[in-house]
């Protein structure tokens, strides 16, 4: 039986109360979800010796999330990642969006789903424990057309799978792409060595290079012979600061979309494997979406105060964001992100946790 606990989690600056729901299985795997931003505030996982640690970056209190919009663990929408120029067109009508990334729109603009207070619609306790949160985004919010009804279900089982199922409907033709923006450090959110000595595998033979504003150029570039080739697994540190690759220079590290070999699928399939040799923890990310954004926290520069008083820096965590490709609304060759009335957008992703034998010689990077 999954233990499910619902409790008060503080208040926003305007007095709005925030709640938290914690799901815990018999092995000690635990997920704490806030109604603010439908945020994964904590994900506790055992290492190879059974020791428990929180493996996602974040804040100890809801005030931290309100004061620092760093997307840590948040549900991202209505459109994850970037839309070029903050504009797109549907049926000949041009829509101008809120721009919060230079001239571009990032993660929904200035009023994204990560800043909304979601409602707890349902809680389930059983061999799988779950909480469903809902949010209504009014027509025109952030410039996006249509009243969007969104729902996110977090479900934890006894094996160690945390499934995140996202749904949305609309009253007008619009664009939708939802994801979760957790940043992981499998050594523990407060570990001094950060996450750059983790080993990452991504089954993708192609990625989408970007221009100087981090908008995809439209090219689908093979990863062969580049620091973007994670097909057989590699340490993140091997390519993170490789200034010989112009794409690493533009992103100040990894901040790129990978075209998953599996494409769009009806059921979640493997998108990434992240392994920490020191703790033995392993995270598999599965998704129904065709892309995966790899982000190494390049914008974190020690000014954000995180859990346990830690100042977050580049490389302290890694985001693996399943998604539609960035700027898909302006690039028909990337597919479609359109949602029409009467249709339901669905994205199911899984964080699958396990632990194997640790390798004790894991050095510390300060």
Distances 316 to 188, 256, 263, 306 between C-alpha atoms, Å = 10, 18, 29, 11
Catalytic annotation, pick one of 59, 135, 321, 347: 321
R_g of the chain computed on alpha carbons: 19
Distance CA 165, CA 61 (A): 25
3-state secondary structure of 250: helix
Question: Does 321 participate in catalysis according to the annotation?
Answer: yes
Alpha-carbon 276 to chain mean position = 19
- Spatial distance between the Cα atoms of 309 and 300, rounded to a whole number of angstroms: 15
Separation of alpha carbons 167 and 78, rounded Å: 11
Closest of 162, 152, 164 to residue 24, by C-alpha: 162
* DSSP letters for 100-166: -BTTBEETTGGG-GGGSB-EEEEEE-SSSEEEEEEEEEPTTGGG--S-EEEEEEEEE-SSSEEEEEE
C-alpha–C-alpha distance, residues 24 and 131, integer Å? 12
| Of the candidates 263, 273, 271, the residue with the CA atom closest to the CA atom of residue 236 | 273
- Of 59, 107, 135, 181, the active-site residue reads 181
Which residues are catalytically annotated? Answer: 181, 321
């Amino acid at each position: 039986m999954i233990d499910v606990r619902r409790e008060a989690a503080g208040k926003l600056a305007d007095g709005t109360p925030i709640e938290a729901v914690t799901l815990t299985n018999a092995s000690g795997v635990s997920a704490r979800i806030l109604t603010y931003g439908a945020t994964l505030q904590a994900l506790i996982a055992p290492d190879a010796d059974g020791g428990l640690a929180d493996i996602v970056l974040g804040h100890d209190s809801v005030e931290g999330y309100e004061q620092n919009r760093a997307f840590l663990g948040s549900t991202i929408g209505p459109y994850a990642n970037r839309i070029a120029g903050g504009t797109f067109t549907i049926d000949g009508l041009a829509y101008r969006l809120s721009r919060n990334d230079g001239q571009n729109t990032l993660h929904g603009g200035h009023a994204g789903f990560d800043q909304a207070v979601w409602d707890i619609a349902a809680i389930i306790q059983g061999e799988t424990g779950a909480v469903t949160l809902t949010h209504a985004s009014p027509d025109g919010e952030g410039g996006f057309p249509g009243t969007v009804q969104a729902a996110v279900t977090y479900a934890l089982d006894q094996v160690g799978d945390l499934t995140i199922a996202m749904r949305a409907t609309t009253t007008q033709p619009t664009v939708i792409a939802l994801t979760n923006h957790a940043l992981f450090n499998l050594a523990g959110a407060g570990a001094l060595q950060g996450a750059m000595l983790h080993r990452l595998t991504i089954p993708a033979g192609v990625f989408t290079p970007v221009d100087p504003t981090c908008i995809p150029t439209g090219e689908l570039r093979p990863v062969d012979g580049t620091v973007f080739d994670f097909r057989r697994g590699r340490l993140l540190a091997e390519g993170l600061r490789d200034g010989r690759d112009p794409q690493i220079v533009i992103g100040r590290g990894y901040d790129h979309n990978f075209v998953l070999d599996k494409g769009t699928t009806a059921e979640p399939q493997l998108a990434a494997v992240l392994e920490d040799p020191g703790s033995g923890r392993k995270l598999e990310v599965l998704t129904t979406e065709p892309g995966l954004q790899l982000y190494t926290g390049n914008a974190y520069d020690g000014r954000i105060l995180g859990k346990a008083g830690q100042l977050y820096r580049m490389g302290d965590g890694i985001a693996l964001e399943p998604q539609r490709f960035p700027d898909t609304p302006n690039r028909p060759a990337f597919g479609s992100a359109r949602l029409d009335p009467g249709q339901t957008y669905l994205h199911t992703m899984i964080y699958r946790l396990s632990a194997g034998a640790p390798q004790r010689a894991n050095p510390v990077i300060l």
